[in-house]
Amino acid sequence: MKKHNFYAGPAILPEYTVDKVIEACRDFDGMGLGIMEISHRSKEFVAVMEQAQQLFKDLLDIPQGYHVLFLGGGASTQFTVVPMNLMQKKSAYLNTGAWASKAIKEARLYGEVEVVASSEDKNFTYIPKGYVVPEDADYFHITSNNTIYGTEFHSDPDSPVPMVADMSSDILSRPVDVSKYALIYGGAQKNLAPAGVAFVIVREDILGKVDRKIPTIFDYRTHIEKGSMFNTPPVLPIYAALQTLIWIRDNGGVEAMRKRNHEKATLLYEEIERNKLFRPTITNEEDRSVMNVCWVMNEEYAEHEKPFLEFATEHGMIGIKGHRSVGGFRASLYNALPLESVKALIEVMQEYEKKI
Ligand SMILES: *Cc1c(COP(=O)(O)O)cnc(C)c1O
């Protein structure tokens, strides 16, 4: 039976990416050697790095003055590297979930952190609005998609100070006005590549403004200067990222991704609202994530939670159990997830409804 992969991360990748990686592990670029077994300084791999950086720039229409880096350590490392590089005295953060909270915790090690607003009062089921970003902050940090709770910014907010975004789980899912951000980062394993690499898009002119000593490996300027090759980068995930970027380009770019993702999410939210068993956890439609759709059992059917999950799993739906801090269900609909998988999930939801 066909499995439908709704895992939140690591998550489904395009078949194209997986096939290309398998091929390159045996014979990369006609070298007669596998990509995992060659120097990262070989001209063949340097070309991979350069193409991946360029394609990232092309797909997101990244303006002049920005650099694209691929760094080890995932998004969590960036929680600490961002304030180390950008915070002289004070920063502002929007607290929209567990990942945002972790970023805030690390930032506090480097100076004063003002949490401008938080949705923690309602278990992060909405995106705060009407907050004021202090003009004396060195930067303002947001999490564009809250993977665990299923809320998302659908446009790029304004900020009076340089803006930084964790886009781990919605990068390349829609067009982004990169010029509004000073820095965008994320782990690759949600929408781009296998785990092991983080992408960083950074505007060069915001660097070099802090007094503290920054360890060489954590200084963004090191990686800019060395073309993201200061040390051995995560070669295989970067190769996979390049394949996903090519796949996005060949499938119409980020605007086409946005349309597809929107169609998938709309179908699923409509079914959750129609089906007598379920309701969405995010009631405010404009805050609903297109990437991570969360829902719960209506109270009167609460005892069906486990049996439904079992039924869905038996029918090939994998990874739809909600995060332990939210409960219920979550289906992650990243770029690579086909519409067919959403339709299959909806069918299973309807079949179960008919049984009771
Ligand atoms: C998964 C996730 C992270 C953590 O990424 P790691 O690469 O595991 O450190 C951070 N932020 C968001 C929004 C995420 O979804």
Which one-letter amino acid corresponds to residue 93? Y
Domains of the chain: 4-10+253-355 (3.90.1150.10), 15-250 (3.40.640.10)
Which one-letter amino acid corresponds to residue 45? F
Give yes or no for residue 289 CB within 6 A of ligand 1.
no
Q: Whose CA is nearest to atom 3 of ligand 1?
A: 75
Residue 253 tokens, joined: 């770019």
For residue 209, the tally of other CB atoms under 10 A from its CB is 12
* Beta-strand relationship, 90-95 and 112-118: parallel
pTM listed for this prediction: 0.98
Give yes or no for residue 83 CB within 6 A of ligand 1.
no
Residue 188 tokens, joined: 């690759």
**Which residues partner with 145 through β-bridges?**
152
Pairwise CA distance, residues 96 & 79, whole Å = 15
Give the distance (Å) from ligand 1 centre to CA of residue 2. 28
Give yes or no for residue 97 CB within 6 A of ligand 1.
no
Pairwise CA distance, residues 140 & 132, whole Å = 11
Closest CA to 334 of 233, 184, 196, 186: 186
User: What percent of the residues of the chain are helix, what percent strand, and what percent coil, each to the nearest 5?
Assistant: 40, 15, 40
Q: Return the best residue to mutate from 169, 189, 325 for the ligand 1 pocket (most ligand atoms within 8 A of CB).
A: 169
Are 146 and 124 contacting, i.e. CB atoms less than 8 angstroms apart?
yes
Instruction: Give the 3-state secondary structure of residue 187.
Output: strand
Instruction: Give the 3-state secondary structure of residue 142.
Output: strand
pLDDT at position 49 is 98
**Which residues partner with 91 through β-bridges?**
113
Q: How far is CA 345 from CA 26, 115, 173, 336, in A?
A: 36, 38, 21, 16
User: Catalytic amino acids?
Assistant: 99, 166, 190
Give the distance (Å) from ligand 1 centre to CA of residue 172. 15
Please provide the DSSP assignment of 5-29 as one string.
Answer: E--SSS----HHHHHHHHHHHH-ST
Give the distance (Å) from ligand 1 centre to CA of residue 72. 13
pLDDT in tens, the chain (356 residues): 889 999 999 999 999 999 999 999 999 999 999 999 999 999 999 999 999 999 999 999 999 999 999 999 999 999 999 999 999 999 999 999 999 999 999 999 999 999 999 999 999 999 999 999 999 999 999 999 999 999 999 999 999 999 999 999 999 999 999 999 999 999 999 999 999 999 999 999 999 999 999 999 999 999 999 999 999 999 999 999 999 999 999 999 999 999 999 999 999 999 999 999 999 999 999 999 999 999 999 999 999 999 999 999 999 999 999 999 999 999 999 999 999 999 999 999 999 999 98
Are 173 and 197 contacting, i.e. CB atoms less than 8 angstroms apart?
no
